[in-house]
Amino acid sequence: MTPELDRVLNGYRGADLSEMMVEELRTENAKLSANLSRMAGSLAQNRLELEKLRRSVRRQKPSYSWLAQRAELDAKGLYTMQCAGIQPSRRLAKETLGMGERRWGWARALAMMAGVHDGDLFLDYDPRTLIQRLAESADFAKEHPHILRQFRAR
Tell me what the mean pLDDT of segment 4-16 comes to. Answer: 62
Tell me what the mean pLDDT of segment 95-111 comes to. Answer: 93
Tell me what the mean pLDDT of segment 26-52 comes to. Answer: 92
What value does the mean pLDDT of the chain take?
86
Residues in Cβ contact with 118 at an 8 Å cutoff, skipping those fewer than 6 apart? 112
Widest distance between CA atoms in the chain: 92
Q: How many CB atoms lie within 10 A of CB 140?
A: 16
pLDDT at 99: 93
Sign of CA dihedral 59, 65, 68, 73: negative
pLDDT band at 129 (very low <50, low <70, confident <90, very high): very high
Rounded CA-CA distance 88/96 in Å is 9
- DSSP for residue 12: T
Residue 1 has pLDDT above 70, yes or no: no
pTM (2 d.p.): 0.60
Sequence length of the chain is 154
pLDDT band at 65 (very low <50, low <70, confident <90, very high): confident
3-state secondary structure of 117: strand
**Cross-strand pairs, 117:** 122
